[in-house]
Chain A
Amino acid sequence: METGNEISKLVQDVGGLVTLPHVFVRINQLVEDPNSNIADIAKAISQDPSFTVRLLRVANSPFYGFQSSIDTVAKAVSVIGTSQIRSLALSMSIAKSFEGLPNELVSMENFWRHSLYCGMIARALAKRARKYDPEAVFTAGLLHDIGELVIFNRMPEKAREVLLLVLDSIDDLPVNEAERQVMSFDHGQVGMELARQWGLPPLLVECIGYHHVIGEAKHHPREVALIHLSNVFALMAELDTLDPADVSTVDPRAWEMCGVGADVDLIEEVVREVQDQIAEDEKLFIESRREAAAAK
């Protein structure tokens, strides 16, 4: 089968298993609709009481660190921003959405911790660079590896072969290259196809698709490069190291593309910051998974 077809087939097969929640789909429509306003979005959110509670919890958490307390949905939407609320809604629901796609190869907790680290680092770098939408790149980081979950679930034998190949190589064979060797496509392509079918914004589609091959980015090279870097720094945070030799290689073009100064102190600062914050943010974004796991 041709690679492109094989990827679409793979993604179609998971269509019924992973669905985005209604509240996100609704917010997404309203944000795209030029005739809608903050009140419409607040109303759509209020119709999902569980989402409303969680949204207010995030809005009042150190993740935002607002001075005054956010006690209504309307206030949350206005201070966070409509486009940002859309990103946030996706971030808050993504781990839960993938509960329908379990696998036996990796622990979901470990998977989402890496993704969350990536999102947190992207957001922290974006805030310092001041020309990004920090919520959008946070979501991009959180979603960057979703293609892996599709592969783990649909092609467990191939996926196992890939992971063993990576473990077997002294030379730090990158996962995406191992995937191409074993299956002729990689998790970036699969994730990108899923993001497209979901109708996610192009920025997310490109970050998911090209975070390992940043030269292929078309419309959002800065964000793609930022996610590429954040992915590597997320590994530093996970492995508790600041030594670039311990983690995957950074594409040398990435620094210039994303416009964040290549600065060792900055890396250390951001890595330490997210390490301090991870437990708190896991409660906000991955919590439903953790609660489900604890209930077992």
Chain B
Amino acid sequence: MATAPLSRPPQVLPGFEHIRRNWNNTYGVYAARLLPGEYYVTSNDEGVYTTLGSCISACIRDRQTGIGGMNHFMLPATAEVDSWKSTSLSAATRYGNFAMEHLINDILKNGGRRQNLEVKLFGGGRIMVNMTDVGKRNIDFARDYLATEGLRVVAEDVGDVFPRMVVYFPSTGKVKVKRLRSLHNNIIVEEETRYISTIESKPISGEVELF
């Protein structure tokens, strides 16, 4: 049954005003649409969704208060790719850290507690044959990051050859993942490539403070 749309979307947390939100009939909630490179945190009953090729999304929430959100990122390709475990962080992992830390910090800043956080991980598909497996690199990074931070992954659907549509509801922790047909691969790769070229040309400025 379709629910009558709420007249306007729930209050948005500061800093997320630019994220596009639409009423969704299937779920009877507003849902925020993430593009590559974006993230979104909410304390309301609303959804966050995105389309992932080789990019990865961490869905993180405070399982007691329901505050949580999703990010969508990938590591830029750099020569120093494999050196990220070393003490000098490469530009690539710097970007991954940036994406993870912003999501986690905004959840904590808005009342989430570190010990209550639960994580779900999606994406990292190998959607282009004949290309280095950038998806796997993103998965490896995210898993290692979360392990280092002591955050447990309670569910994941990563890797394989499919793009995915992920819909996440932070207030309940429910998630719907749908594999997308290969017909869409090129368009998804195009969007991800456009995003990766913007982050490669614009180095991250400023430091991220860890809570």
Interface residues of A in 131-164 (CB under 8 A from B): 160, 163-164
Interface string of B171-210 (1 = CB under 8 A from A): 0000000111111111110000000000000000000000
Q: A170-B24, A170-B27, A171-B26 in contact; A235/B181 too (CB < 8 A)?
A: yes
Q: A239-B179, A246-B178 in contact; A167/B184 too (CB < 8 A)?
A: yes
Interface string of B135-157 (1 = CB under 8 A from A): 00000000000000000000000
What separation, in Å, do the CA atoms of A242 and B31 have in the docked complex? 28
B26 touches A170 (CB 8 A): yes
B49 touches A170 (CB 8 A): yes
Stretch in A15-23, A51-59, A72-80, A106-114 touching the partner: A106-114
Count of interface residues, chain B, beta-carbon cutoff 8 Å: 23
User: Any chain B CB within 8 A of the CB of A2?
Assistant: no
Inter-chain CB contacts under 8 Å: number: 56
Given contacts A114-B183, A246-B179, 18 further A-B contacts (CB under 8 A): A104-B186, A106-B184, A106-B185, A114-B182, A163-B183, A163-B187, A167-B51, A167-B180, A167-B184, A168-B51, A170-B24, A170-B26, A170-B31, A170-B165, A170-B167, A171-B25, A239-B179, A240-B179
User: Any chain B CB within 8 A of the CB of A166?
Assistant: yes
A167 cross-chain contacts in B, Cβ below 8 A: 51, 165, 180, 184, 187-188
User: Any chain A CB within 8 A of the CB of B102?
Assistant: no
A160 cross-chain contacts in B, Cβ below 8 A: 187
Q: Which of B49, B162, B165, B186 contacts A107 (CB 8 A)?
A: B186
Interface string of A191-217 (1 = CB under 8 A from B): 000000000000000000000000000
What separation, in Å, do the CA atoms of A235 and B162 have in the docked complex? 12
A107 touches B26 (CB 8 A): no
A113 touches B187 (CB 8 A): no
Q: Which of B31, B162, B185 contacts A239 (CB 8 A)?
A: B162
Q: Which of A111, A167, A171, A246 has the most CB of B within 10 A?
A: A167
What separation, in Å, do the CA atoms of A171 and B178 have in the docked complex? 11
User: Any chain B CB within 8 A of the CB of A105?
Assistant: yes
B183 cross-chain contacts in A, Cβ below 8 A: 106, 110-111, 114, 163, 175
